[in-house]
Structure 1
Amino acid sequence: MNISEATLISCVCHLVGNPTRSEPIVFSETQPKLTDETAGLLMRRCVASMEKAAPFFFQHDADIRLNELYTFSRSIFLDRESFFENSKHIARLLYNKSKNPNIPQGELLILLVRDIELQGAKTDALCILKIEAREQYLTISLDNGSYVPQEQDGIDLRMLQKAVLIPSEHNFILAYERTGSTQYWIDDFLQAKAVQTEKSASKFVSEFTKNAIEAMTDSSRIAEYAERIHALTERENLTPNDVISTTSGFLTKSELDSIADVAVGKSNLVDLDFSISSSTLAKAASKTFRKIDIVRGVKLLVENGMRYPLISVSNVGDEQHILIRMKAAKA
C-alpha cells in the first residue's frame, strides 16, 4: 500500500449507539472541514494502518448485491456526491447490527480516499472505522507564566477496535476486529469471509504448534512432536488439518479443539483443508521450535538445520544440571 499520492476527499462521523440499551443513532448534519494537518493524521494513522489488516471478501448467501455494505460502497464509488447520504445508510446498518448488549456505543468514522495505491494500481477507497474506546492523556500548557499539566480524553489511533478498507477496483477488502472486544464487525456488519492465503495458513501453523508445545510438559514428548512435524515437511501435499492430526497423539481432543480455535482466530484461516507447501510448513514450524525455554531465565536458540533437542533438568544440591542432546537435521 502506498498513500504518498493519495488524497482524503470526504470525511464524516456519526454516533452509533446500541438499540438494546435504547441508545440513539445521531447523524452529523454536515461534513466537517478538516485542516491539512488533521487530514494527514487520518491518512497516516487510519488509512495507512490498514496495510497490515487481513484480506476478506464480501459475501451473501443469495446474491452479493444483497450485501448492504457492498451496495452502499458501490454507490459512493459511482457517485461521490452520494457520499454523505450513503454514510448515513452505513451508520444505520451498523446500528441495526449492534444488538448484542455487550457492543458499546461509539463514533463511526467514514473516509473517502482518492488515488491510494494497492497492488501496484491506484484506486479510490472507503475507510470505515468504529471507535469504541477513549484514552486519558496528559497535556501541559502555559498558563500565566506556569506550565500546567491537564487531563484530556482522546482517541488512540494506534488502538482502533474495528476497521475496514474497501477499494473500488479490487475484489477484496482489508479488515480487522481487535480481539478482546465483542465480535460482530466482520461477520455481521461486513458479512465478509477471510481470503485464504499461504500467509494465513503459515500463521495458523505457527500459532497452533506454539500453543501445542506450551500444553506439553515432557521435553521428550516435545522432541518427539518436533520430529513428527519435521517429517510432515517431507510430503508434497499438506494442509493445516495434517498438522492437527499429527498433534492428536500428544494432546486430548478438548486441548486440540481449544488450541485450533485460538489459532483460527489469530490467523483468520477458516479452511483447514487449505493446501500449503512443505516449505511454508517448515518455515512456520521453525518459528515454534527455534527458541526453547529450558528453566526460568534460560532459553536455547536452535540454529536452522538442527533438530529439536532432548532436554533434561536435574537438581543436584543447590545447582541445576541441564543435559542437552541433539543431532543435526538429515541432509
Structure 2
Amino acid sequence: MISFFEASLAELSIHRVGNRSQDEFYVLSEQPVHIKDTLLSGLLQQYFLGPFEKVNEIYRFFHPNSDLNLNEVYHFAAEIFKDGTTFHENSKELAKYLFDVSAHPKIKSGELYLAYFENVQIEGELHDAIGIFKSETKETYLKVYPQNSGFEISYEQEAINIHKLDKGCLVFNTDKEEGYRVAVIDQTNRSTEAVYWKDEFLKLKVRNDNFSQTNNVLGVYKNFVAEKLDQDFEISKADKIDLLNKSMKYFKEKESFDLDEFSNEVIGNEAGIASFKSYKKNYEEEFDTAIPDSFDISGAAVKKQARVFKSVLKLDKNFHIYIHGDKELIEKGFDDDKSMNYYKVYFREEQ
C-alpha cells in the first residue's frame, strides 16, 4: 500500500523532546539538517519509511469539536504543505506541542525528526508527505576495524538501530478536507495509559474508506461467529467454520457488499441475521465507527483478513480437519462405548 522506491528526502529538522512530568524540557534546533551524503540519505529513508511498507490501516486527523483546524498537527502540516519555506519553523511548533502532551511518567524522552518527502507512493498514487518520527530506544553497537596488521574492537553507546523505528507517522498531501491520509506506527508505550502518540498528539481516526469498511465488516463478522453465536444458538465448530468460509467466498467473488444480500446468502437464518445486525450496530456505537450497509469491496482488505480466518477443526492433539467446502460431508456423533465424540467425513477419492 505504501512504497518509497521513487521517494526523496527534501527537508529534515531534528529536535529533542523531554518528559514534562519529569521536569525535562525540549531542545530546538536553530537550523534544519542539510544532508549531502547520499548513503546517509538512503539510510535515513530506510529508517523512516521502511516500516510503513507493512502498514495497511490508513487514518485521518480529527478533532472532537469537528473543526479540523483545532487539531494542532493537522494545522501545522497544512501550513507546511501550503508554504514549504515554513517547514523548520513549524517543526519547532510540532516539537513544542509534543512536549505539551508528554505528561505521563512512562513517556520516554527522545529525538523528534520532522522530514519532508517527495514522491511517496500510497495506494498507487505519488504524493509529497510530511514525516514525524521519534526515537526513544538507544542501543550499544560493537565496531571492528583493521589496525596494525590486525583488528581492533570498540563500541558506541546510545546509538539508534535503523531497523527499529519507535514512533512515526506519515501525513500525505491529499484529501485535505477529510483530514489528510495518515499512516502511523507506535512500537513502544502500548499500555492504555501511555498511548499518547496516536490519541493525544496526532488525534487520529480510522479513515472510513472501502478498505476500512471491508476490513471492519469482516472483522465484526468473524468476532460475531466466534463469540456471539454461542450465546444465542447451539452451533458446532464445523458450522462456525462453514459460516466463515461462506463469508470469505462472498467477499472474494463479489465486487460490492450489500448487508441484506450478505446476510441472506451467508447466514440464511432470520434469527441469526437479526443477531448479526444487532452485533454490528453495537460495534458501531461502541467504537464510534459507522459501517455503511453497502460499499465497494477492497481486495486488499479481503486478502488481509483471509490470513486470520481459520478453517481448521482441531480435535484434541491427534487430528486437524481442514474444512474448505460442503459442511454436509462431515457429521458429528457420540460413541457410547468409548464415551467420545467423533466426526464422520465423506469423500470420493484421496489426493
Preserved contact between residue 16 and residue 26 of structure 1 (Cα < 8 Å): yes
Distance 1:3 1:279 in 2: 26
Amino acid at match of 2:222: T
| Displacement after TM superposition at 1:198 (Å) | 4.5
Amino acid at match of 1:185: W
Which residue does 2:34 correspond to in 1?
33
Q: How does 1:161-176 map to 2 (within 5 A)?
A: 161-171=166-176, 172-176=180-184
| Displacement after TM superposition at 1:271 (Å) | 1.7
Amino acid at match of 2:200: D
| Displacement after TM superposition at 1:111 (Å) | 0.6
| Displacement after TM superposition at 1:326 (Å) | 4.9
Amino acid at match of 2:77: S
| Displacement after TM superposition at 1:49 (Å) | 3.4
Which residue does 2:196 correspond to in 1?
184
Which residue does 2:144 correspond to in 1?
140
Distance 2:208 2:346 in 1: 36
Q: How does 1:48-63 map to 2 (within 5 A)?
A: 48-53=50-55, 54-60=57-63, 61-63=65-67
Shift in alpha-carbon separation, 1:272–1:298, aligned structure 2, 3 A: farther
After the TM superposition, which of the residue ranges 31-40 and 135-144 deviates more from structure 2? 135-144
Which residue does 1:252 correspond to in 2?
none
Distance 1:231 1:184 in 2: 39
Partner SS state of residue 100, structure 1: coil
The TM-score with structure 2 as length reference comes to: 0.68
| % identity of equivalent residues | 23
Which residue does 2:164 correspond to in 1?
159
| Displacement after TM superposition at 1:87 (Å) | 0.5
Which residue does 1:253 correspond to in 2?
none
Distance 1:298 1:313 in 2: 17
Q: Does 1:131 align with 2:143?
A: no
Q: How does 1:236-255 map to 2 (within 5 A)?
A: 236-237=258-259
Distance 2:72 2:89 in 1: 14
Partner SS state of residue 124, structure 1: strand
Amino acid at match of 1:146: F
Distance 1:226 1:51 in 2: 31
Q: How does 1:1-331 map to 2 (within 5 A)?
A: 1-34=2-35, 35-53=37-55, 54-60=57-63, 61-144=65-148, 145-148=150-153, 150=155, 152-171=157-176, 172-178=180-186, 180=190, 182-204=194-216, 205-206=218-219, 209=222, 213=226, 221-227=236-242, 236-237=258-259, 271=289, 273-275=291-293, 284=305, 287-296=308-317, 299-303=320-324, 305-307=325-327, 323-326=342-345
Distance 2:154 2:334 in 1: 53
Amino acid at match of 1:187: D
The TM-score with structure 1 as length reference comes to: 0.72
After the TM superposition, which of the residue ranges 153-162 and 206-215 deviates more from structure 2? 206-215
Preserved contact between residue 177 and residue 183 of structure 1 (Cα < 8 Å): no
Shift in alpha-carbon separation, 1:198–1:120, aligned structure 2, 3 A: closer
Partner SS state of residue 87, structure 2: helix
Amino acid at match of 2:241: A
Preserved contact between residue 134 and residue 155 of structure 1 (Cα < 8 Å): yes
Distance 1:200 1:310 in 2: 37
Q: What are structure 1's unaligned runs of at least 5 residues?
A: 250-255
Partner SS state of residue 289, structure 1: coil
Partner SS state of residue 226, structure 1: helix
Partner SS state of residue 12, structure 1: strand
Distance 1:279 1:86 in 2: 39
After the TM superposition, which of the residue ranges 85-94 and 221-230 deviates more from structure 2? 221-230
Preserved contact between residue 18 and residue 110 of structure 2 (Cα < 8 Å): yes
Distance 1:190 1:173 in 2: 12
Amino acid at match of 1:87: S
Amino acid at match of 1:173: R
Preserved contact between residue 47 and residue 165 of structure 2 (Cα < 8 Å): no
Partner SS state of residue 70, structure 1: helix
Amino acid at match of 2:28: F
Shift in alpha-carbon separation, 1:231–1:28, aligned structure 2, 3 A: same
Distance 1:116 1:282 in 2: 24
Partner SS state of residue 109, structure 1: strand
